[in-house]
Amino acid sequence: RWCADYHKTNVILSAGKPGRQAAFQNATFGQPVHQTHPHLIGSGEVLTGIRLEEVQERRKRLLQALRDHHALQTGAATNHIVVIPSANKKYMSHKIPYVFRQNTDFLYLSGCQEPDSVLVLEIDASSNCKSTLFVRPKDRHAEMWDGPRTGVQAAVDVFGVEEALDVNSLKEYLTKHGFAHPNAVLWYDAAASDLQDVSKMVKDVTNQTQPKPPTEAIQSLRLVKSASECALMGKTCEIASKAINRTMQHSFPGISEHQVFANVDYYTRVAGANFLAYPPVVAGGSNATVIHYINNNQIVEAGELLLLDAGCEYHGYTSDITRTWPVEGRFSDPQRVLYEVLLQVQRELLDCLQQAGGETLDQLFDTMCSKIGKYLQEIKLIPESLSGLERSRAAYKFCPHHVSHYLGMDVHDTPLISRNIRLMPGMVCTVEPGIYISKHNFDVPVEFRGTGLRIEDDVLIKPDKQIEVLTKECAKDVAAIEGLFSR
């Protein structure tokens, strides 16, 4: 829907403004910058691994995409204004906040990690673009309690916008823009906004006119990663892969699911991750047949498999991996049979990405059902009499979830983008078939009941129908998994 021209990943990689370092020497900021955190932020970067010019280019591409899409629909060029709010702080109890996580659309386009901020983007009929960032003003008392803020004065240089203003002046700014450009198209997604006061302002100044949400257009840009984003995706996947290997290596009969949770959390953080990307699934024995099991409070007994679905967030980019292994380090014969069936399915799915049966994620799902059905039939878990669609439907009962989703700044990234579009270089997706057999499924032999398995890798789509498995360092073959326990 959104023009593929805006998926270009080439960005300007010029250095930052002269004199910027000197201007920042005695300043304080609401997030790491190169002058205060050179171990995290390189020269010319606004976020770890992301240069300021790349973020500026994203804003320009979004405005051009919205303008061109609207012109295609209406046949007229006009002014556009886009309002994108940050996240706000959320509290678990009085004055006790949850860990703050920025709205990823706002972060992608602003580079700003501070709450209660708003990015306003404008483009006119002559393609002149402007970015204005509304931020909290410096406040010595508030900063004593909650830490420094970047403030209005430094925001222009830090975030590369044309103008920075006090967030309290947002309504006045929008009102003036409305008077100056009464026919401008307003883009704002109230449903996705944490800042209800901003939603009310937008409603008040637009005279009840329903603004258009820019979310799908932003996600269309985010879908295809730049070279710098691909490098960050590689790093988050490397950290999670090695952490899961160590977590497997240090599991044993009688370990609690909670301890496994703690181990993978610890190993990712000490390797540089900010935190886990989502509440992990740590499921021993029959708990693994509950796909979104996150209680993580049971003991994993000898003879049981342990399923771990975990990933980490590394400077705004997430990984998502699942591994299943025997808690004492050796598969039983029935476990090995099911595991090798699933591993074979997963390998074949990886092989057919961008090929017939894997040109879209929905095609890959259909292929998964067909392959699981075929192999489960071979081990007598699905009747031999079934074929084609009937066999795939029978297989779906053993794996009732999709085989893939897009991955990036969010775990289930760009959810408004259809899984029925052709894969293209720069996309990152998961490949995660599973087999789940309830302990109450009396249609299968007793030795298979209560068994849940999933194998999940993260994959970068590359040119010329190539792929790169970003999680390749995470042990997956039977010999590799069992080998971890002999070290």
* Percent of the chain whose predicted confidence (pLDDT) is above 90: 90
Tokens standing for 126? 């002559």
Give all domains of the chain, ordered by start, each with its CATH number: 23-222 (3.40.350.10), 224-485 (3.90.230.10)
pLDDT at residue 227 greater than cutoff 50: yes
* Percent of the chain whose predicted confidence (pLDDT) is above 70: 94
> Mean pLDDT in the chain?
93
Tell me the mean pLDDT in the region 271-282: 98
pLDDT band at 207 (very low <50, low <70, confident <90, very high): low
Are 453 and 305 spatial neighbours (Cβ–Cβ below 8 Å)? Answer: yes
pLDDT band at 24 (very low <50, low <70, confident <90, very high): low
Supply the pLDDT for residue 62: 98
Tokens standing for 255? 């370990």
- Tokens 């160590």 correspond to 246
pLDDT at residue 18 greater than cutoff 70: no
**pTM for this entry:** 0.93
pLDDT at residue 11 greater than cutoff 80: no
Residues with Cβ within 8 Å of 172's Cβ and at least 6 positions away in sequence, in order, are none
Handedness of CA 455, 328, 277, 293 (dihedral sign): positive
Give the SS3 label for residue 30.
coil
Supply the pLDDT for residue 26: 72
pLDDT at residue 245 greater than cutoff 60: yes
d(CA 469, CA 407): 13
What does the angle CA 117 – CA 123 – CA 125 come to, to the nearest 5 degrees? 160
Tell me the mean pLDDT in the region 223-241: 98
CA-only gyration radius of the chain, Å: 25
d(CA 138, CA 355): 54
Beta strands 457-461 and 428-431 are: antiparallel
pLDDT at residue 8 greater than cutoff 70: no
Q: Spell out the alpha helix ranges (H) of 304-454.
A: 333-352, 361-378, 388-398
Which of 66-75, 105-114, 327-336 shows the lowest per-residue confidence on average (mean pLDDT)?
66-75
Task: List pLDDT tens digits, range 149-159.
Answer: 999 999 999 99
Instruction: Give strand pairing partners of 165.
Output: 134
Which residue, 285, 215, 276, is CA-closest to 253? 285
Supply the pLDDT for residue 9: 33
Which residue, 338, 306, 298, is CA-closest to 325? 306
d(CA 228, CA 111): 14
Task: List pLDDT tens digits, range 337-347.
Answer: 999 999 999 99
Supply the pLDDT for residue 25: 64
pLDDT at residue 22 greater than cutoff 70: no
Burial class (CB in 10 A: 0-12, 13-18, 19+), 94: exposed
Q: Spell out the alpha helix ranges (H) of 206-303.
A: 215-223, 227-249, 257-270
Tell me the mean pLDDT in the region 325-340: 97
Supply the pLDDT for residue 1: 46
Supply the pLDDT for residue 77: 87
